[in-house]
Structure 1
Amino acid sequence: MKSEWWKNAVIYQVYPKSFYDTNNDGIGDLSGIDKKLNYLKSLGIDALWISPCYLSPQIDNGYDIADYRKIDPMFGNNDDMKQLIVDAHQKNIKIIMDMVANHTSDESIWFKESRKSRNNYFSDFYIWRDPKNDGSEPNNWGSNFGGSAWTYDETRQQYYLHYYGKKQPDLNWENPLVREAIYDVMRYWKAQGVDGWRMDVITSISKNQDFPDNPNPHQLRYVVGNQDNGPRMHEFIHEMNQQVLAPFSMMSVGEAPSSKSKDARMLVDPKREELDMVFTFEHMHVDRKPGDVNGRWAIQPIDIVQLKKTLANWQDNLNGHGWNALYFENHDRARTPSRWGDDKNYRYESATAFATVLHGLKGTPFVYQGEEIGMTNPKFELADYEDIELKTNYQKLVEQEKTISKADFLKAAQKISRDNARTPMQWNSSKNAGFSESDPWFKLNPNYQTVNVERDMNSPRSIFKYYQKLIELRHNEDIFRDGDFKLILPNDRNIFAYTRTLKDQMWLVIANLSSWEQQASCLNDYDKTNLVLGNYDFEEKGTLRPYEAMILRK
């Protein structure tokens, strides 16, 4: 029977470029991850998900892969990866690599050969279409980075499809040679000792082969059934499971941008043999204005009621049908204390409150580097941001279409831009936050002298130590793995509360996700002898202080 080690695990995501630099070129590297394994082991994590470190021109920070089998020299080499895997395994830490199977870089040999002619081995590795009679693009599909999803190639005299940047052409999964090439890459890394895969936008690999127009031209959001969750998606993922995942007992967690909880059942139900878990985007849209033409850049204050409803819906609908992947932060998501909490007045409380809510749910929690010390958004000016998504969307929405003002776009960027999570890891208060002796590839968050690992671990109110306790509970208490979930106070605008029940045990997880004291009458049944974990000293008065969170035994 396949091991389900991931059901008892907490997984830590490393963004290598920004984690730790050992050769002082200003860029984090694989040796840097290796050097910090003791730190990660002390946190208590069970596995590392490493964002792409393959050879890449870095148009999209490594999610544009030129060679799947080669580590990019900026991070080291293949031997460094092998050493990292060996050293991690010695500490009982598993390694999860990032597989980008929807697209490659246009510098991949596959694409270079494909664009040469319409009748060579690689010709159909990508999605090529002739122009319409008037010379225009094949349809009106939009890129997630803004503008058209089609770019004309002079050499082939055809358009190629790209859901992201024009230098990230989409692979043609209808071609069995493409599928086998991807599976072969995965087998190669399994041979090096890799334990599993995080799969980038895996639900986008099947496209509607009729290529119909969408209701709105060049819209930023995928249209389900056309550009995402396409007609052969489940078939392709099941084939991948049978070819690679099941034979080699490799864990899988797929990025599923458009999937709702009922769709996800089909992806993660063990009987269907597809994926172990998927990342939903749904709960990350609770601070987005619904239906706004500016997409994710149209922000609003967090809707706690909607957050609870969405997460509870996933808990309920996957119960007995599959397993949840739990996250608030990653390389594409801003820092929670800044985005949803109060990083100015209640940074410690915000960070630990949202962590308590997440880690108490049923599923596998993912921790993103720096989350465990409460890193915050840097509040840069527009000129300081690097991300291709931000730049292309600024061009489209502010400069061309003028649907959002520069001031509002900046406000949104400071809240939700992907770059907020990509500033270098803050290890200490020394030069460059202890990340590198050289100037880092990306600007540091100016608060690194007060927010860093060294300072946090020595603080009487340490976020790191709070995470250690949460992770210890995940490892030692079966109720977190197997207990039933029930949302309570569903319509309260500030309090997130639920119970976990296993046999004769019942635990309450409760958090005030606001900067004001809140009444919580459900606490009147508890006293400090019931407290399992909390981010304040317990007071028996039936109220919750700003961002107060606790786990209580009934």
Structure 2
Amino acid sequence: MKPGILAIFLCFIVGVENIGAQPIQQKSAATQHWWKEAVVYQIYPRSFKDSNGDGVGDLKGIISELDYIKSLGVDVVWLNPVYQSPNFDNGYDVSDYRKILPEFGTMADFDSLLNGMHRRGIKLVMDLVVNHSSSEHEWFKQSRSSRINPYRNYYHWWNAENGKPPYRFSLFDINHDAWQYDTLTNAYYLHYFSDKQPDLNWGNPKVRNEVYSIMRFWADKGIDGFRLDAFQFVAKDTTFPMFPKGFEKNFMLYYAMQGNLHGYLQQMNQQIFSKYDVMSVAEGAGNTFEDAHNLVDSNRHELNIAYAFNGVDLAKPNGYSLLQFKSIFSQWDSAFEHSGWLAVFLANHDQARMVSRFGNDAPQFRTLSSQMLSTFLLTMRGTPFYYNGDELGMVNPNFTSIHDYRDEVILDAYKHTQLTGGNIKAFLKNLAFGARDNGRTPFPWDSSLNAGFTTGLPWIGINANYKTVNVAVEENDPNSCLNYFRKLMQLRKNNPTLVYGKYTLLDKNNPQVYAYLREDAAGKFLVVLNFSAKDAVFNNLTLMAKANVVLVLANYINKPSTIALRNKIPLRPYEAMVIKL
């Protein structure tokens, strides 16, 4: 990680992990579960569909498109926060965990959404944001009102008469300082993120019980899982020892998986996960393979799925190494080959668009590279987490002005860059590649005004290519990203080998091609992917040549149904093939 708020911020939004340990092996065999076989479709509600013309997506908008979601073939929807919030961090600053933010709708709307999903055989997973709350939550208002208030220890306070607290780095603070002085009680409170997001004190059993009560509220409504936002940070050494100078350059070593985190998760499992058939996944997987394994080892009774950021962390404005990409995903698969389970993803609400970061958003390559990346995601072992709009091949909007952005964290970073004499031109260039808002532009439904997203003024700009990249256009094109995604979904559903089968990397040192086998007693598949904009060759050094093998899926439309498996297979730019052996 490079110094400076932009570099630190960009590293955070793509995820910062430092997995360095060697893969560890477990003996127990993989067990079948619905959450392993599922494909998770993430919906960013603010940008999905607006039903009332206020320019903000809402629950009724999602309800109106449930048949579209069903048509994708996905099994689970992960819904970003819709709770009551002042919306500083787009819902990740919750002021009431049992209420719906009015601009999204009402609790009755939520109930209708949940029922509509369940009628269609779709499960719903919600974000649980409990590393911190909003500073406008009643708990925090009480906590800061008096040093003797019963809610004081719901948060982390440092009394000012004890001097300034030991430095802690803040991910979202303009000054990078995680301690905010509060005049009301002459004390500092801790916030790893924004000063509007004070960290909850998980060492306080009352806080934990409050969280379990919130989880029961939603589980009793019938939701199907929780994604625990920033949960790897919840456990803290509340003596707040001094950290080494410069620790913020590798702050994950000091922030992630500390203290009694596993004890908290085991208690949460006992209180909640053991009593409901729900998916559980924590954002982040710690600093080592052992950290990640400990989260999802079934014998430990904690979580279902490890969600690690190493893969997405590779993307940089000047490109990335496919050899590193292959190495990271192969190491993770090896570490979890015999037990535990992973999420596989290349995008989410904290990332720029998948095609712009890992593919090629030039018009001649957008569709092909999108289809190639989707092929990767849906043929790897692990639960795919797929971000809304990627099925259309959405790309970054190419914003050129700071006024195009809405993310308060970005705006604060811009101010910091100005105040410290930083390079504004370079700052904006980096934002255009990696800023979170790139992945938050409205979902394009058709070619009408505002892409059919809203009849009002959109809360953030519409991508300029919406007239050609939208649902209506792609529905009518059998070779579109959308229809290719549906074929991939059907292929995965029809072939459990692509879920549970052994993964074997082939042609390891090929800098352009990612090729691997997926195999078990039920079948054997070869996946060949050209990750480059140039012609490439798959060097078949492992498999025997065969005259005719079945090509079950390809993203070039002029491919025959069978091909010859030779020692060298030529590939066109961003070509993807799934071959049944």
Report the TM-score range of the alignment, normalised by the length of the smaller protein: over 0.9
Deviation at 1:428, TM superposition (A): 0.6
How far apart in 2 are the matches of 1:375 and 1:408? Answer: 24
> Kindly tell me: are residues 216 and 420 of structure 1, through their superposed partners in 2, closer, same or farther at Cα, counting changes over 3 Å?
farther
Question: Which of 343, 352, 356 is the aligned partner of 2:375?
Answer: 356
Q: Which amino acid aligns with 1:303?
A: S
How far apart in 1 are the matches of 2:514 and 2:238? Answer: 43
> Kindly tell me: are residues 255 and 47 of structure 1, through their superposed partners in 2, closer, same or farther at Cα, counting changes over 3 Å?
same
> Kindly tell me: are residues 526 and 335 of structure 1, through their superposed partners in 2, closer, same or farther at Cα, counting changes over 3 Å?
farther
Deviation at 1:391, TM superposition (A): 2.2
Three-state SS of the structure 1 residue aligned to 2:577 is strand
Partner of 1:269: 297
Partner of 1:176: 205
Stretch deviating more after TM superposition (379-388 or 9-18): 379-388
Q: Are 1:489 and 2:507 matched, yes or no? A: yes
How far apart in 1 are the matches of 2:431 and 2:546? Answer: 42
Three-state SS of the structure 1 residue aligned to 2:465 is helix
Question: Which of 548, 551, 560 is the aligned partner of 1:531?
Answer: 551
Question: Which of 160, 173, 191 is the aligned partner of 2:189?
Answer: 160
* Superposed counterparts of 1:250-329, under 5 Å: 250-256=278-284, 258-288=286-316, 299-329=317-347
CA contact (8 A) 1:6 1:364 kept: yes
Three-state SS of the structure 1 residue aligned to 2:98 is strand
Three-state SS of the structure 2 residue aligned to 1:86 is helix
Instruction: Please give the per-residue CA displacement for 1:134-187, whole angstroms capped at 9, x wherever unaligned.
Output: x53x12211112410110111121111111111000000000000000110010
Three-state SS of the structure 2 residue aligned to 1:252 is strand
Stretch deviating more after TM superposition (30-39 or 540-549): 540-549
Q: Which amino acid aligns with 1:121?
A: P
Q: Are 1:234 and 2:262 matched, yes or no? A: yes
% identity of equivalent residues: 40
Instruction: Please give the per-residue CA displacement for 1:198-253, whole angstroms capped at 9, x wherever unaligned.
Output: 110111110123323333458365332x3221111111111111111111122111
Partner of 2:24: none
Partner of 2:4: none
Deviation at 1:286, TM superposition (A): 1.1
How far apart in 1 are the matches of 2:74 and 2:241? Answer: 45
Q: Which amino acid aligns with 2:315?
A: D
> Kindly tell me: are residues 223 and 275 of structure 1, through their superposed partners in 2, closer, same or farther at Cα, counting changes over 3 Å?
same
Three-state SS of the structure 2 residue aligned to 1:447 is coil
Partner of 1:94: 123
> Kindly tell me: are residues 474 and 354 of structure 1, through their superposed partners in 2, closer, same or farther at Cα, counting changes over 3 Å?
same
How far apart in 1 are the matches of 2:266 and 2:383? Answer: 22
Consecutive unaligned residues in structure 1, runs of 5 or more: 289-298
How far apart in 1 are the matches of 2:203 and 2:485? Answer: 44
How far apart in 1 are the matches of 2:285 and 2:433? Answer: 20
CA contact (8 A) 2:43 2:77 kept: yes
How far apart in 1 are the matches of 2:250 and 2:65? Answer: 38
> Kindly tell me: are residues 159 and 361 of structure 1, through their superposed partners in 2, closer, same or farther at Cα, counting changes over 3 Å?
same
How far apart in 2 are the matches of 1:476 and 1:198? Answer: 27
> Kindly tell me: are residues 411 and 191 of structure 1, through their superposed partners in 2, closer, same or farther at Cα, counting changes over 3 Å?
same
Deviation at 1:70, TM superposition (A): 0.1
Deviation at 1:15, TM superposition (A): 0.6
Q: Which amino acid aligns with 1:196?
A: G
Three-state SS of the structure 1 residue aligned to 2:450 is helix
Stretch deviating more after TM superposition (371-380 or 254-263): 254-263
Three-state SS of the structure 2 residue aligned to 1:547 is coil
Q: Are 1:547 and 2:580 matched, yes or no? A: no
Question: Which of 384, 387, 403 is the aligned partner of 1:383?
Answer: 403
Consecutive unaligned residues in structure 2, runs of 5 or more: 1-30
Question: Which of 103, 117, 133 is the aligned partner of 2:132?
Answer: 103
Partner of 1:8: 37
CA contact (8 A) 1:201 1:257 kept: no
Q: Which amino acid aligns with 1:380?
A: F
Partner of 1:435: 453
CA contact (8 A) 1:261 1:313 kept: no
> Kindly tell me: are residues 504 and 22 of structure 1, through their superposed partners in 2, closer, same or farther at Cα, counting changes over 3 Å?
closer
> Kindly tell me: are residues 218 and 439 of structure 1, through their superposed partners in 2, closer, same or farther at Cα, counting changes over 3 Å?
farther
How far apart in 1 are the matches of 2:576 and 2:383? Answer: 20
Instruction: Please give the per-residue CA displacement for 1:253-302, whole angstroms capped at 9, x wherever unaligned.
Output: 110164443321110111111110021111111135xxxxxxxxxx4311
How far apart in 2 are the matches of 1:220 and 1:192? Answer: 42
Three-state SS of the structure 1 residue aligned to 2:508 is coil
Three-state SS of the structure 1 residue aligned to 2:145 is coil
* Superposed counterparts of 1:124-163, under 5 Å: 124-131=153-160, 135-136=163-164, 138-146=165-173, 147-163=176-192
How far apart in 1 are the matches of 2:241 and 2:510? Answer: 43
CA contact (8 A) 1:533 1:551 kept: yes
Partner of 1:85: 114
Q: Are 1:343 and 2:343 matched, yes or no? A: no
Q: Report the number of matched residues.
A: 538
Question: Which of 490, 493, 509 is the aligned partner of 2:527?
Answer: 509
CA contact (8 A) 2:285 2:292 kept: no
> Kindly tell me: are residues 514 and 216 of structure 1, through their superposed partners in 2, closer, same or farther at Cα, counting changes over 3 Å?
farther
> Kindly tell me: are residues 446 and 186 of structure 1, through their superposed partners in 2, closer, same or farther at Cα, counting changes over 3 Å?
same
Deviation at 1:329, TM superposition (A): 1.1
CA contact (8 A) 1:208 1:227 kept: no
Deviation at 1:434, TM superposition (A): 0.1
Deviation at 1:74, TM superposition (A): 0.4
CA contact (8 A) 1:141 1:217 kept: no
Instruction: Please give the per-residue CA displacement for 1:452-501, whole angstroms capped at 9, x wherever unaligned.
Output: 11111212421111111111122111211221111122222111111111
How far apart in 2 are the matches of 1:261 and 1:546? Answer: 34
TM-score by length of 2: 0.89
> Kindly tell me: are residues 25 and 516 of structure 1, through their superposed partners in 2, closer, same or farther at Cα, counting changes over 3 Å?
same
TM-score by length of 1: 0.93
Partner of 1:293: none
* Superposed counterparts of 1:368-447, under 5 Å: 368-381=387-400, 382-396=402-416, 398-402=417-421, 405-447=423-465
Instruction: Please give the per-residue CA displacement for 1:81-111, whole angstroms capped at 9, x wherever unaligned.
Output: 1111111111111111110010000000000
CA contact (8 A) 1:341 1:350 kept: yes
Question: Which of 228, 232, 235 is the aligned partner of 1:203?
Answer: 232
Q: Which amino acid aligns with 1:348?
A: T
Question: Which of 537, 543, 548 is the aligned partner of 1:519?
Answer: 537
How far apart in 1 are the matches of 2:167 and 2:546? Answer: 58
Partner of 2:385: 366
> Kindly tell me: are residues 122 and 229 of structure 1, through their superposed partners in 2, closer, same or farther at Cα, counting changes over 3 Å?
same
How far apart in 2 are the matches of 1:74 and 1:256? Answer: 29
Q: Which amino acid aligns with 1:389?
A: V
CA contact (8 A) 1:49 1:98 kept: yes
How far apart in 1 are the matches of 2:283 and 2:418? Answer: 31
> Kindly tell me: are residues 260 and 307 of structure 1, through their superposed partners in 2, closer, same or farther at Cα, counting changes over 3 Å?
farther
Q: Which amino acid aligns with 1:230?
A: Q
CA contact (8 A) 1:57 1:66 kept: yes
